[in-house]
Structure 1
Amino acid sequence: GAAALRDGVYLLPKSESARAVFAEQAQEVVAAGGMAHIVAFDGEDDAQHREFVRLFDRSTDYAELFGRLDAFKTEIAKLDEVEARRQAAALRRDIAALGAIDFFPGASRHQVESALADAEAALNARFSPDEPHAAKGIIPKREKAQYRGRTWATRARPWVDRVASAWLIRRFIDPKARFRWLKTPKDCPKTALGFDFDGAEFTHIGARVTFEVLAASFGLHNDRAIARLGALVHYLDVGGIPVPEAAGFAAIMAGARAQQANDDKLLHSMSAVLDALYASYSELPGGES
């Protein structure tokens, strides 16, 4: 993200993260017998400061992304779901990467973020027309004992949040859970526990997606492996902070969905993937607790 002042001279805005990188590099240089100093400086005056800031203008990069988003929205009707979601994930990733080096965000960034939200709304309208809207309120605490041996219902042909939520339910909340896959939310039986649609017992609340709401409801969010899975599901469902494993998980999910027309078999296939991810996350520092 550094800007070139001239050959061999680069400028980077002062930040704790940048200083940490330079400090690590300086230690390596000193350890190898060299000399290194970290020097911070300010512009000579306001005019020079403005000139430095202009070096980090990302508006041209945002314009290119805006054009890609516009083309994507035009093409959604012609794309199959796997390809549409692949392109959406790539756009989300590239926008996040640019945002990470946009040290002085302005109107261009807000315009692209708004266009991304519009594109994702168009994507959901095409492939997930009953995608829930976030409700307001607090997440009530639930007792697992009252939710055992139940029928749980969600929309058919599940994508990431619904599959991960179903896995979480069967793995940690209701081991004998039965699932109903609904053509539309209005088909949900009154005796079933609905999840991930408007009006469901468990759905998006505030900034949390359904997986995160379920985890918080049943006191599972303190398990850091589940919290990490929640971050993955959140990013793939509504965007936000990028997760390294997201692209790989989305590709596996898309492939399994293309192979399995039966939603119970799809859940079975993806449960093995989620079990493996949970085990991997549990092995990381600060994992299962």
Structure 2
Amino acid sequence: MHKTEWLLLVISLPGPTKAARMRLWRALRLSGAGALRDGVYLLPNSPSASAQFATQAAEVVASGGSAETIAFGDGDATQQQRLLALFDRGDQHARLIERAQAVRAGIGKGTDADVRRRLATLRREAAALSAIDFFPGPAAAQLEQALGDAEAALAAVADGGEPRARQGSVPRRDIARYQKRLWATRRNLWVDRVASAWLIRRFIDAQARFRWLRQPEDCPKTAVGFDFDGAEFSHVGGRVTFEVLLASFSLDKDPALVRLGTVVHALDVGGAPAAEAAGLAAIMAGYRAKGLSDDALLVEASGVFDALHAAFQGAEDSTS
């Protein structure tokens, strides 16, 4: 087990210092310090922990008390487990996950603005928790997934016009017939549409032009439509548009693209979780919060999809 270096703050305050004790308690709680007992506090040793404890020690001394900081390493495995348990944030993560799930369940029952405010509050609280989550475990990833799912669900409702999956097989297409084409999809891009546009430009039609539609009925007759009802390429069976494009142009022979498809699928329609889904959802939510145009969003997000594809290729290469 990895050994941890620790920093201990040992303080003693005189009796009539209730206000000073309250200030100290609040500051230590915000720092994420664990309490071994009254007057003895613990943090993983780091420059920020040293600075935090130095500040609190100075305040204690100014209030007429005494304070010492002591650095030490782990003892045996039993002691290490006991110290690490002081920093278990599982219950705090669980409460935020429950709230994120409640927000998602309430989407469509109130105003979008209210949901966005609640999600923004949860994001701030999650960030504050992350700052003191010195030993993150599975619960941290589960919280990020829950927030990403709620943000994706809100985006889908706010956008409207989500395509209904049609049944049947996915026919193979001749890529030569899809060069230098105009491609069209619904505006206000979200994960499946922006991923599909990236895939089109990177692997299908390098000179593709895009038109973002106010509504599907605005699609020009000469354009190749994707990700809306009646489009040439849209959801089929259990596949989202990105996965349909992979199958249509025989790109599903690329394991890295297939793996990327599982991330897009998880964010667009749910299903099996993907480790990278929560991070991608947070990035997409950030782009939307910045108010980027769809053209600018595609440019920005293309770098993210390039990086994910390269990382997945690297993972495949390392196992072959």
Backbone CA RMSD of aligned residues: 3.6
Aligned 8 A contact 1:76 1:84 in 2 = no
1:199 paired with 2:230, answer yes
TM-score by length of 2: 0.56
User: 1:254 Cα deviation (Å)?
Assistant: 1.3
User: 1:140 Cα deviation (Å)?
Assistant: 0.5
Change (3 A) 1:68 1:224: same
Aligned 8 A contact 1:76 1:123 in 2 = no
Matched letter for residue 258 of structure 2: A
Change (3 A) 1:125 1:72: closer
SS in 1 for 2:183: strand
Matched letter for residue 277 of structure 1: L
Structure number with higher strand proportion: 2
Q: Which of 162, 179, 194 lines up with 1:163 in the alignment?
A: 194
Name the residue aligned to 2:204.
173
Change (3 A) 1:266 1:123: closer
Q: Which of 257, 263, 268 lines up with 2:299 in the alignment?
A: 268
Q: Which of 71, 77, 81 lines up with 2:112 in the alignment?
A: 77
Provide the C-alpha distance between the structure 2 equivalents of 1:203 and 1:86, rounded to a whole number of angstroms: 34
Provide the C-alpha distance between the structure 2 equivalents of 1:175 and 1:245, rounded to a whole number of angstroms: 26
Q: Which of 160, 181, 188 lines up with 1:129 in the alignment?
A: 160
SS in 2 for 1:179: strand
SS in 2 for 1:229: helix
1:147 paired with 2:171, answer no
Q: Deviations over 1:269-289 (max 9, x none)?
A: 000110011000000136899
After the TM superposition, which residues 191-270 of structure 1 pair with which residues of structure 2 at under 5 Å, given as runs?
191-270=222-301
Change (3 A) 1:258 1:285: same
Name the residue aligned to 2:46.
none
User: 1:137 Cα deviation (Å)?
Assistant: 1.1
Name the residue aligned to 2:131.
none
SS in 2 for 1:79: helix
Change (3 A) 1:146 1:125: closer
Provide the C-alpha distance between the structure 2 equivalents of 1:219 and 1:86, rounded to a whole number of angstroms: 43
Structure 2 residue ranges without an equivalent (≥5): 1-97, 127-137, 143-148
Structure label with greater radius of gyration = 2
Change (3 A) 1:141 1:168: same
Provide the C-alpha distance between the structure 2 equivalents of 1:173 and 1:257, rounded to a whole number of angstroms: 26
Matched letter for residue 204 of structure 1: H
Provide the C-alpha distance between the structure 2 equivalents of 1:188 and 1:288, rounded to a whole number of angstroms: 44
Aligned residues: 205
Structure 1 residue ranges without an equivalent (≥5): 1-62, 98-116
Provide the C-alpha distance between the structure 2 equivalents of 1:139 and 1:212, rounded to a whole number of angstroms: 10
Name the residue aligned to 2:220.
189
Matched letter for residue 310 of structure 2: A
User: 1:77 Cα deviation (Å)?
Assistant: 3.2
Matched letter for residue 258 of structure 1: A
Name the residue aligned to 1:280.
311
Matched letter for residue 224 of structure 1: P
Aligned 8 A contact 2:183 2:225 in 1 = yes
Q: Deviations over 1:165-196 (max 9, x none)?
A: 00000000000000000000000000000000
User: 1:123 Cα deviation (Å)?
Assistant: 4.0
Q: Deviations over 1:55-94 (max 9, x none)?
A: xxxxxxxx9998665545544533366966998xx9xx99
SS in 2 for 1:154: strand
Aligned 8 A contact 1:152 1:178 in 2 = yes
Matched letter for residue 171 of structure 1: R
Q: Deviations over 1:24-75 (max 9, x none)?
A: xxxxxxxxxxxxxxxxxxxxxxxxxxxxxxxxxxxxxxx9998665545544
